Amino acid sequence: MKIDLIKDKKKLILLFLGYSFTPSSVRHLNLEDYGLCVVYDYSDLWFDYEILKDREIYLIAWSMGVWAANLVLKDIKLKTAVAINGTPFGIDDEFGIKKDIFYKSISDYDFEGFKKLCFLGISENKIKGFQFNRNAKFELINLYKNASQKNEDHINWNKAIISKKDLIFPSKVCLDYFKQKAVCINAPHFVFFKFKSFGEIFEI
């Protein structure tokens, strides 16, 4: 995992991004009184716990980042935890992206097609400055190889934000898993243009 400490404050937003995305995708969001640490690129699953020491952790996990956060934050005290368009099981035939469908995304690899499904009509100008993992296929393969590393949900999720127009992670799966914790919004898989600040994500 890559870990970028964007702004260091005691009140720290710990953001686990989805597959292939980098911190450039959330730079439009106002931090208000929070610090920000972004976790991304799951080509390996090593996590540096020192960065969390003596901080209040406000977790936001998106897409496969929900699975990754659940994997590494087993014994970490969190002030709040928000899951977005993903479940702690990631690649799973019951509570995730079905294994055969995920494998097909490797065998029929089409990164540009994946991006179109993520943004679903969002203007090219809005995503012009986005950077993506240059080794995205390797990251995808590693996610598939490590899909079984999930025994149970280790996080007490306060809320799950689920997009009605998600073409990547099935919204029905997220609704079935999170049930009464779910909040539905009219957005594609990439939700962050729906918000102006990280605070709005916690308040929705």
pLDDT on residue 71: 94
Q: CA 81, CA 79: separation in Å to the nearest integer?
A: 7
- The Cα 86–Cα 173 span in angstroms is 9
How far is residue 109 from each of residues 7, 56, 90, measured CA to CA in Å?
A: 35, 39, 19
Q: How much is the pTM?
A: 0.97
Report pLDDT digits (tens) over 91-144: 999 999 999 999 999 999 999 999 999 999 899 899 999 999 999 999 999 999
Which pLDDT score is estimated for 64? Answer: 97
Positive/negative CA dihedral, 35, 64, 138, 42: positive
User: What is the CATH topology of the domain spanning 2-203?
Assistant: Rossmann fold (3.40.50)
In the predicted model, what is the mean pLDDT of residues 197-202?
A: 97
Residues facing residue 28 across a β-bridge = none
